[in-house]
Amino acid sequence: MTCGNFCDLTDFNHCRLIRLTKTGRRSLSHSISHSSTDSNSSGGSDAENPEDEVSPRDMQQINSKGNMDFCIKNIKLADFGRREIELAEDEMTALMALRKAAQGEKPLAAAKIVGCTHVTAQTAVLFETLKVLGAQCRWAACNIYSTQDEVAAALAEQDFPVFAWKGESEDDFWWCIDRCVNVEGWEPNMILDDGGDMTHWIYKKYPHLFKKVKGIVEESITGIHRLHQLSKAGKLCVPAINVNDSVTKQKFDNLYCCRESILDSLKKTTDIMFGGKQVAICGYGEVGKGCSAALKAMGSVVYVTEIDPICALQACMDGFRLAKLGDVVRHVDMVITCTGNKNVVVREHMDLMKNGCVVCNMGRSNTEIDVNSLQTPELVWQHVRAQVDHIIWPDGKRIVLLAEGRVLNLSSSTVPIYVLSITATTQALALIELFNAPEGRYKQDVYLLPKKLDEYVASLHLQTFDAHLTELTDEQAKYMGLSKYGPFKPSYYR
Amino acid sequence: MTCGNFCDLTDFNHCRLIRLTKTGRRSLSHSISHSSTDSNSSGGSDAENPEDEVSPRDMQQINSKGNMDFCIKNIKLADFGRREIELAEDEMTALMALRKAAQGEKPLAAAKIVGCTHVTAQTAVLFETLKVLGAQCRWAACNIYSTQDEVAAALAEQDFPVFAWKGESEDDFWWCIDRCVNVEGWEPNMILDDGGDMTHWIYKKYPHLFKKVKGIVEESITGIHRLHQLSKAGKLCVPAINVNDSVTKQKFDNLYCCRESILDSLKKTTDIMFGGKQVAICGYGEVGKGCSAALKAMGSVVYVTEIDPICALQACMDGFRLAKLGDVVRHVDMVITCTGNKNVVVREHMDLMKNGCVVCNMGRSNTEIDVNSLQTPELVWQHVRAQVDHIIWPDGKRIVLLAEGRVLNLSSSTVPIYVLSITATTQALALIELFNAPEGRYKQDVYLLPKKLDEYVASLHLQTFDAHLTELTDEQAKYMGLSKYGPFKPSYYR
Amino acid sequence: MTCGNFCDLTDFNHCRLIRLTKTGRRSLSHSISHSSTDSNSSGGSDAENPEDEVSPRDMQQINSKGNMDFCIKNIKLADFGRREIELAEDEMTALMALRKAAQGEKPLAAAKIVGCTHVTAQTAVLFETLKVLGAQCRWAACNIYSTQDEVAAALAEQDFPVFAWKGESEDDFWWCIDRCVNVEGWEPNMILDDGGDMTHWIYKKYPHLFKKVKGIVEESITGIHRLHQLSKAGKLCVPAINVNDSVTKQKFDNLYCCRESILDSLKKTTDIMFGGKQVAICGYGEVGKGCSAALKAMGSVVYVTEIDPICALQACMDGFRLAKLGDVVRHVDMVITCTGNKNVVVREHMDLMKNGCVVCNMGRSNTEIDVNSLQTPELVWQHVRAQVDHIIWPDGKRIVLLAEGRVLNLSSSTVPIYVLSITATTQALALIELFNAPEGRYKQDVYLLPKKLDEYVASLHLQTFDAHLTELTDEQAKYMGLSKYGPFKPSYYR
Amino acid sequence: MTCGNFCDLTDFNHCRLIRLTKTGRRSLSHSISHSSTDSNSSGGSDAENPEDEVSPRDMQQINSKGNMDFCIKNIKLADFGRREIELAEDEMTALMALRKAAQGEKPLAAAKIVGCTHVTAQTAVLFETLKVLGAQCRWAACNIYSTQDEVAAALAEQDFPVFAWKGESEDDFWWCIDRCVNVEGWEPNMILDDGGDMTHWIYKKYPHLFKKVKGIVEESITGIHRLHQLSKAGKLCVPAINVNDSVTKQKFDNLYCCRESILDSLKKTTDIMFGGKQVAICGYGEVGKGCSAALKAMGSVVYVTEIDPICALQACMDGFRLAKLGDVVRHVDMVITCTGNKNVVVREHMDLMKNGCVVCNMGRSNTEIDVNSLQTPELVWQHVRAQVDHIIWPDGKRIVLLAEGRVLNLSSSTVPIYVLSITATTQALALIELFNAPEGRYKQDVYLLPKKLDEYVASLHLQTFDAHLTELTDEQAKYMGLSKYGPFKPSYYR
């Protein structure tokens, strides 16, 4: 088997620039820096502040220790960035606990990691943890807009080789990645990727490096999809761990987070009152369960649509009326899609909606609402405010379309730092696992995080809640046929 | 009895300028106009855009019909303002239903109303309704910042005598009020007030007018307080209706609205995740009940503090641990005051809080958290973003203080238009009631809206929910000793 | 004014024998004694065990101390009864706390109380408390079936003059009451009544006693109704306290208790699963709120019917669809009445119900379901088990009628001892209040328990929950205009 | 491979007689027949009514058609039994829908089924369905107490070969089973078992029959355990389907049913009020989730204990405090075990409990509470009523032990017929699947019901709720990579 050409497999250039990940967005919107109008959240429609300055590539900077192995916007922002990192450390207690627990052991000693993720205070806590655990790292941004320049400066000041700034050009983007990989005397042996661009670049330019690489840790759905395609094509030449689909992360991303962000997103975009409103929620998977529970709790009357009878029965037992969208769409005040499917809300439905009906998408894809079908001459689009359009029918009826049908909570809500902490901790453990795994444990395939480590991530995060786990006695462990230290459930358990 | 000097009784000048009412704030923040940084929501700390223009008072304008009896910013904004009013009409279905139901009857024919309220699209729907019901009106703003200039323009274009613009000086403010009252050939016989300034002005300058005035309708707590003081002092010389304390309005303001706005406000100011968090809620009245229910529904563990054993027992039966603040303050992640009392959270408590604890106030007064006690040299205040300060202890511990202890949801949440509609409908009905009441029904006192009208407000708002009331049969009405048309409960029923 | 003839006013003989109060029923069903098939719970339809023994009236008994001033079934049951009383003491911690707190002070010294209530372990704890607080008492049963004979024996053994046994004849009933009142050298000065029979008897036979009586404490709705009739007729000659309508008791009886007993009652009579079921709840007062919340929590889809727009709006905001019964009756699985009204569910509705629909009544009256309308030749009644009838239509459709339309939770659920404790504590405090009130505080009228004492009852019951009340500081009390010791809310506050 | 000796593998004789399954218990307790004190629910402690009659084996009966191939208590009960079956048909709409849908096709034509399950109205609906679908059946009871004699009579009257009566001896039990298998000219080819006794008997006595048997459908955990042991030992010689672990059945048995039965069971055994009570729930799997949600909804304060960090984190996010039992056991009012583990509540815990604490087990095994540790001389056991013992410490403290630590809802609650319907429908589909599966689809192993059939069971049960499933469009199915007709989720999806 040869390590194939990654870039043949996916049209990544198109998706990269508009790809939105939660990590990047969040840190911007609530940063102390105030610098952050969240430029990438609206899909590029808002104009950037023109920054007419010299490109960082053309301006060699030097830190207070005389080191120049980095490329960032402005080293003078370092103090400010350090404060932000310290604040993030305060909140990422689980990751800091891991750092503390493992710093003696140095499980990443000899690891040489190239990273390509958002460059924010939270990810800085991750990378500095990797360093404390023994790793050498080089780091580029996975998104041209999302870098917190002050954070990059703080890292550079500490001699961390970071290549990232807010407002990179596409050429800059690849240049930065290349600077992480292509360095005299440096042979990376681990890849930490978010979107697959670093992996792609190495496949394309330096495939020989894969001889030394012990594994890839990938966070994003897009990146995992690309790895699976490589794997199917027989071209994946190292093991990879998919950190996106760990149980802990999934439950938080889909159920717990959406339970909060559906409310948040709706309030940030409309001034609707939830009490007494009738809502149709399409899909009763984890996202649909979270949204339904939240709106029910706020006093809405929720109808659920489903295709899967088992999920449908769960909706019934949870007290929701199960209906077809066409049967309730005339009288509901909101329609929320959570299916992962396409064309769930179509023009025919929207023609039937009552005046003022709010339509939005909390699902995975941007195709759940057939927004294209609204691009017809007889309908008037009125852009009301960020993320909100009124679509006006000839008879004056208007529906309120949020985020143009794109995933709503990516655009209009913030991701709690708690969820970022789960992701970062999972990434760190996945790197440790792959780097230290005995020969043969992992083949050239895409793996989930082992259940036991997934449980460990959860246990680190329990501490925030002043929560106390019970330990099995020896007798109980034997009775249950379990190790006292887990895993406690089969790997498929959700 | 003589009609006394209103201004002796209360130091209204001080409170007027910083007084925040929900009505004003809301319409700004979600206006189509985009013009609205909510300048008054942060208590004056944000700088105003300098508007170096000529004062409206110095610039006579004329509408398309040749009318000049108004004073506003810019008559050219009329079309835009009309669109906003039409949007508001769409949403204020209950008030529009009342308009339609009563327009034949014209219950306000011969009423001459002077109004002093926020001037927004929603209140415009109210005033235009009063006009349709037969009243003549003159209208000034009750807040120097809250006027939507385009709405004022739309009214002026329709020959409505409105005197208001965004950014009035204090002198402007009283000048506008005076222009409503002091007009040749105009003797007002009804007052619609929000804060008591119009009432005050007439007491002070034109007390003789009270001979003709049939009543005052007052919305704000401040204004009601002033009326009660007048009444106690024997100086109230006309009946007044307190629309703030009607059952319908109270339930929405305190219970249903807070249930939503506590979540909204916290998400808009912090990126806290509610799930698993421990929260102390001080006070279990309607506001406390709403906040507790909402946070419990989002997966928080809620502790309640109370002084009243009956409310305390309700908290227990609703599944909350009842505790003293001092006993739980060390380990909670948030403290929310909802008491109406002062110094509920004091320095001693804040000294005990853990790092990162969020402290905020949802109660009525701004004194529930003893913020002054934090103004000591050893504590560092760090202003993090709008509405958010970090207070840092010498050992590095920081607490997160929201809105500087002022009422949180007034600053950080929007009031749903539904609640504005309840207020406006209640005001209209109170005006009709006072204007048409037979001699002797109302004395020179402050009244609540009659229960039957309160029920009518509720019934108008039910229509939004496609809700169907049951009617008593004759036999049932007799059995219950009730009229078929209400009131159905004693007046004290909540 | 003369003290009138009580018996003219109400036809009490009819209602007494079938009157069911919660107090009596409960203690029977869960007694240790096993003796208790709850004979009165099914409205007399079950046959009594024939008890062929000698009547207690014909069999003089004597206790171990030589005392004979009592009349009960069997003094030998005393030890067993004492155990039951001790168990009840364990659970009635609030009443025991009151006993302990006041035993030094003896606030009922010189009180001579005649009581007519159920004679059970719980009421024994009340009467023994009255004794500890200084009172002399004589006690008869208010129900011919509900006496726990072993408890009566335990009291008699302690020289308590008690006149009651299970299975009294009507003649016995009045004889026992008379033995409490008509005793040489005994002039009662307080009446503790449950149903009004004791009061009636004194009015009828010994009206002169009212000169000494300081007051009446009445628990039952029936008794209060009779007192109000007396009062209206100008014939009430002493003050009375209505303990049924105290805030604490009402909230527990109507909201908290029903929230649990609706589930309990339905499970005890049917094997319906709540999840996914559609339920119509008629009435959204406290009982309706409790039932709706419970069924919603169990996964039912609940529709609410209401006549009062304010309660209707509350239902909407709590997430319930408001409908007319006729519009939903075809497709619901259950109909539950909670209105206090009559003929809420009529034959026309029942004709429309689907096969298997369950119909029951949680309201106050037994007339909410028009059961008489089902007594027609074409319908077949099938008695399925206790409290359950199937009514079968000619086409085979059957509806499931519970408790023949009588109040369901009185028949099919138990009253938690916690609620009995609230009643008993309220009765004790009402007696203390009336007995010690200064001249003039109470007129010849029916009063509610003063708010402050109501709050005290609540505070005593908080202790069970390990709940900690906050105390006002002096400064706060002043700011709020309250006493530090309550009352904290206006008397009408619910 | 030879078909091994089943009886060597498990000590089934011991467990059979005390084995309780939900199916048997339920139908007794709510039967129209009134005959049913549920004699086996209390583990044998209640005395049986002596039935001095002739054994059915000694009394040849004949039905109205002259058929004698059955052995039951009394053929005269047939009419009454038929009514019960018809009532059950009314409620088991899903199974009846399957009967109707498949009766034309006759998917079980040529199937010869021997059944060994409870003999009740509900299982009669299953067996008569099998007959309608083409099968020949012979049927014995799997429990010596649970047979509804009138139902057996109704079946016998319809020429159904049934061998079962209430109160069989052990010898009778095996004789009945043998009469199903060992009949001239009858070679069964399918086994429907509940507990494994039929399978055992054939293994032991007629192993040659397995050459013709196409499969075994087993419902009980015990039976499945025995099959797995056979399989591990290489002695299972036909495929078996485990119907207990289908997704639909599991969700209902563990989550939805327990959510209701925990409340039901506690109310039937104690008169505890849930509101305000503190409860420790050990284990946060499906059962623990159901119990926690129910008690929280009733106003209890719930603490959860867990060993698995992922379940623990879910408990936190659902708003429960995670604690060790030892840390909260002093102050809780109830402890409920839901772990499947042993010795979760031990003597040390019970020594610390407060007076009146209720202890019970909702888990799978009977060993979760170490009841043996309470069998010491210093503790007094007081049997208070069915399922309730007080254990009294020397200092007078008593704890309330329910069902002697056995699984509570098996003893004290009823299983809704809805759940029985799910089981029966699953059994029917499993029989159809195994009987019609093409050669090679199933090996000699234990299988779960295929996901698609599991979904079909769910869809049949949706109809009860008037629930409407959405169908995938062709385009959507393609987009999702799914068949339009399912399965919609991977087989491990819960």
- List the single residue in D with minimal CA-CA distance to C418: D273
Q: What is the mean pLDDT of residues A412-427?
A: 87
Q: What is the CATH number of the domain that holds A189?
A: 3.40.50.1480
Give the separation between CA C306 and CA C282, rounded to whole angstroms: 6
Is the minimum CB–CB distance between C480 and chain D shorter than 8 Å?
no
Whether residue C292 sits in one domain with residue C185: no
Q: What's the domain count of chain D?
A: 2
Is the minimum CB–CB distance between C234 and chain A shorter than 8 Å?
no
Q: For position A472, what pLDDT does the model report? A: 94
Evaluate whether residue B310 is within a structural domain.
yes
Is the minimum CB–CB distance between B385 and chain A shorter than 8 Å?
yes
Is the minimum CB–CB distance between A276 and chain B shorter than 8 Å?
yes
pLDDT tens digits, residue range C182-198? 999 999 999 999 999 99
Q: Could you tell me the pLDDT band of residue D52, with boundaries at 50, 70 and 90?
A: low
Whether residue D220 sits in one domain with residue D266: no
D343 bridge partner residues: none
- Per-residue pLDDT at C393 exceeds 60: yes
User: Is A286 marked within a binding site?
Assistant: yes
Is the minimum CB–CB distance between C297 and chain B shorter than 8 Å?
no
CB pairs under 8 A between B and C: 154
Whether residue A274 sits in one domain with residue A231: no
Domain of residue A374 covers 256-412
Residues of chain D positioned with their CB less than 8 A from the CB of C32:
384-385
User: Is B289 marked within a binding site?
Assistant: yes
Q: What would the 3-class secondary structure string for D171-235 be?
A: HHHHHHHHHHHCCCCCCCCEEEECCCHHHHHHHHHCHHHHHCCCEEEECCHHHHHHHHHHHHCCC
Q: Could you tell me the pLDDT band of residue B8, with boundaries at 50, 70 and 90?
A: very low
Q: What is the CATH number of the domain that holds B408?
A: 3.40.50.720
pLDDT tens digits, residue range B410-458? 777 777 888 899 999 999 999 999 999 999 999 999 999 999 999 999 9
Cβ <8 Å between A492 and D492: yes
- Per-residue pLDDT at D53 exceeds 90: no
Cβ <8 Å between D416 and C271: yes
- Per-residue pLDDT at C413 exceeds 70: yes
| Segment among A198-202, C223-227, D111-115 with least mean pLDDT | C223-227
Q: What is the mean pLDDT of residues B148-152?
A: 97
Evaluate whether residue C456 is within a structural domain.
no
Is the minimum CB–CB distance between B317 and chain D shorter than 8 Å?
yes
- Per-residue pLDDT at A15 exceeds 50: no
Residues of chain C positioned with their CB less than 8 A from the CB of B288:
none
Mean residue pLDDT across chain B: 88
Q: For position C17, what pLDDT does the model report? A: 36
Evaluate whether residue B181 is within a structural domain.
yes
Shortest distance between the Cα of C327 and any Cα of chain D, in A, equals: 16
Contacts of C177 (CB under 8 A, 6+ apart): C116, C140, C163, C197, C198, C201
Is the minimum CB–CB distance between C296 and chain A shorter than 8 Å?
yes
Is the minimum CB–CB distance between C384 and chain D shorter than 8 Å?
yes
Q: For position A494, what pLDDT does the model report? A: 65
Cβ–Cβ < 8 Å for B428, B130: yes
| Segment among A236-245, B331-340, C342-351, D11-20 with least mean pLDDT | D11-20
Q: Could you tell me the pLDDT band of residue B40, with boundaries at 50, 70 and 90?
A: very low
Whether residue A387 sits in one domain with residue A284: yes
- Per-residue pLDDT at D36 exceeds 70: no
Q: What is the mean pLDDT of residues B311-330?
A: 97
Residues of chain B positioned with their CB less than 8 A from the CB of D277:
none
Whether residue A206 sits in one domain with residue A82: yes
| Segment among A36-40, A370-374, B4-8, C290-294 with least mean pLDDT | A36-40
- Per-residue pLDDT at A52 exceeds 70: no
Half-sphere exposure of C317 (CA within 13 A, CB side): 25
Evaluate whether residue D469 is within a structural domain.
no
End of a domain among D203, D238, D273? Answer: D238
Evaluate whether residue C465 is within a structural domain.
no
Evaluate whether residue A284 is within a structural domain.
yes
Whether residue D181 sits in one domain with residue D110: yes
Whether residue C79 sits in one domain with residue C190: yes
Residues of chain C positioned with their CB less than 8 A from the CB of A276:
313, 316-317, 319
What is the arrangement of strands in the sheet containing A446-448, beginning at the earlier edge strand? A162-163, A136-141, A112-117, A190-193, A215-218, A240-242, A446-448
Q: Which residue has the higher pLDDT, A91 or C218?
A: C218
Is the minimum CB–CB distance between D26 and chain C shorter than 8 Å?
yes
Give the separation between CA D3 and CA D102, rounded to whole angstroms: 34
Mutate to test the interface with D, among C271, C292, C329, C330 (most CBs of D within 10 A): C271
Is the minimum CB–CB distance between B319 and chain D shorter than 8 Å?
yes
Mutate to test the interface with D, among A98, A469, A471 (most CBs of D within 10 A): A469
Give the separation between CA D455 and CA A307, rounded to whole angstroms: 10
- List the single residue in A with minimal CA-CA distance to D454: A310
Smallest Cβ distance to C275: which of A296, A300, A317?
A317
- Per-residue pLDDT at C173 exceeds 90: yes
pLDDT tens digits, residue range D261-310? 999 999 999 989 999 999 999 999 999 999 999 999 999 999 999 999 99
End of a domain among A185, A212, A238? Answer: A238
Smallest Cβ distance to A276: which of C275, C298, C316?
C316
Q: Which residue has the higher pLDDT, A44 or C323?
A: C323
Q: Could you tell me the pLDDT band of residue D494, with boundaries at 50, 70 and 90?
A: low
Q: String of b and e for D2-35 (b: at least 16 CB within 10 Å)? A: ebbebbebbebeeebeebbbbbbbbbbbbbbbee
Q: What is the mean pLDDT of residues C393-402?
A: 96
- Per-residue pLDDT at B320 exceeds 80: yes
Give the separation between CA B19 and CA B16, rounded to whole angstroms: 5
Among D287, D122, D111, smallest CA distance to D194 is for: D122
Is the minimum CB–CB distance between D300 and chain B shorter than 8 Å?
yes
Whether residue D317 sits in one domain with residue D228: no
Q: What would the 3-class secondary structure string for chain D be?
A: CCCCCHHHHCCHHHHHHHCCCHHHHHHHHCCCCCCCCCCCCCCCCCCCCCCCCCCHHHCCCCCCCCCCCCECCCHHHHHHHHHHHHHHHHHCHHHHHHHHHHCCCCCCCCCEEEEEECCCHHHHHHHHHHHHCCCEEEEEECCCCCCCHHHHHHHHHCCCCEECCCCCCHHHHHHHHHHHHCCCCCCCCEEEECCCHHHHHHHHHCHHHHHCCCEEEECCHHHHHHHHHHHHCCCCCCCEEECCCCHHHHHHHHHHHHHHHHHHHHHHHCCCCCCCCEEEEECCCHHHHHHHHHHHHCCCEEEEECCCHHHHHHHHHCCCEECCHHHHCCCCCEEEECCCCCCCECHHHHHHCCCCCEEEECCCCCCCECHHHHCCCCCEEEEEECCEEEEECCCCCEEEEEHHHCEHHHHHCCCCHHHHHHHHHHHHHHHHHHHHCCCCCCCCCEEECCHHHHHHHHHHHHHHHCCCCCCCCHHHHHHHCCCCCCCCCCCCCC
Give the separation between CA A442 and CA B220, rounded to whole angstroms: 69
Helix, strand, or coil (residue A419): helix
Shortest distance between the Cα of A351 and any Cα of chain D, in A, equals: 19
Is the minimum CB–CB distance between A12 and chain D shorter than 8 Å?
no
Is the minimum CB–CB distance between B320 and chain D shorter than 8 Å?
yes
| Segment among C36-45, D94-103, D308-317 with least mean pLDDT | C36-45
Is the minimum CB–CB distance between C300 and chain A shorter than 8 Å?
yes
Mean residue pLDDT across chain C: 88
Cβ <8 Å between A318 and C300: no
Whether residue C318 sits in one domain with residue C187: no
Mean residue pLDDT across chain A: 88
Is the minimum CB–CB distance between C331 and chain A shorter than 8 Å?
no
Whether residue A297 sits in one domain with residue A382: yes
Beta strand A215-218 with A190-193 is parallel
Cβ–Cβ < 8 Å for C401, C72: no
Shortest distance between the Cα of A232 and any Cα of chain B, in A, equals: 38
User: Is A49 marked within a binding site?
Assistant: no
Residues of chain C positioned with their CB less than 8 A from the CB of A317:
275-276, 299
Cβ <8 Å between A30 and B272: no
User: Is A290 marked within a binding site?
Assistant: yes
| Segment among A337-351, B286-300, C34-48, D159-173 with least mean pLDDT | C34-48
Q: Could you tell me the pLDDT band of residue D43, with boundaries at 50, 70 and 90?
A: very low
User: Is B332 marked within a binding site?
Assistant: no
Is the minimum CB–CB distance between A384 and chain B shorter than 8 Å?
yes
Kindly provide the ipTM of the predicted complex, given to two decimals.
0.86
Whether residue C261 sits in one domain with residue C208: no
pLDDT tens digits, residue range A159-195? 999 999 999 999 999 999 999 999 999 999 999 999 9
pLDDT tens digits, residue range A92-120? 999 999 999 999 999 999 999 999 999 99
Mutate to test the interface with A, among C278, C289, C316 (most CBs of A within 10 A): C316
Is the minimum CB–CB distance between D468 and chain A shorter than 8 Å?
yes
Whether residue C184 sits in one domain with residue C83: yes
What percent of chain A clears pLDDT 90, i.e. is strictly above it? 77
Shortest distance between the Cα of C275 and any Cα of chain A, in A, equals: 4
Residues of chain A positioned with their CB less than 8 A from the CB of C321:
301
Q: What is the mean pLDDT of residues A459-487?
A: 92
Residues of chain B positioned with their CB less than 8 A from the CB of A332:
none
Cα distances (angstroms) measured from residue B491 to each of B164, B221, B427, D107: 37, 20, 18, 68
Sign of CA dihedral B155, B156, B157, B158: positive
- List the single residue in B with minimal CA-CA distance to A263: B264
Q: Could you tell me the pLDDT band of residue B394, with boundaries at 50, 70 and 90?
A: very high
What percent of chain C clears pLDDT 70, i.e. is strictly above it? 89
Is the minimum CB–CB distance between C319 and chain D shorter than 8 Å?
no
Smallest Cβ distance to D299: which of B299, B300, B319?
B319
Evaluate whether residue B302 is within a structural domain.
yes
End of a domain among B180, B205, B238? Answer: B238
pLDDT tens digits, residue range D384-401? 888 999 999 999 999 999
Give the separation between CA D423 and CA A10, rounded to whole angstroms: 47
Smallest Cβ distance to A307: which of D314, D317, D471?
D471
Q: Among residues 249-268 of chain C, which lie with CB inside 8 Å of chain D?
A: 256-257, 259-260, 263-264, 267-268
Q: What is the mean pLDDT of residues B357-374?
A: 93
Q: Which residue has the higher pLDDT, D450 or A221?
A: D450
Evaluate whether residue B303 is within a structural domain.
yes
Q: String of b and e for B277-307 (b: at least 16 CB within 10 Å)? A: bbbbbbbbbbbbbbbbbbbbbbbbbbbbbbb
User: Is B219 marked within a binding site?
Assistant: yes
Q: What is the mean pLDDT of residues A313-342?
A: 96
Q: Hey, what amino acid is at D248? A: T
Is the minimum CB–CB distance between A301 and chain C shorter than 8 Å?
yes
- Per-residue pLDDT at C44 exceeds 50: no
Q: For position D33, what pLDDT does the model report? A: 34
Mutate to test the interface with C, among D28, D31, D38, D260 (most CBs of C within 10 A): D260
Residues of chain C positioned with their CB less than 8 A from the CB of A309:
none
Shortest distance between the Cα of C356 and any Cα of chain A, in A, equals: 19
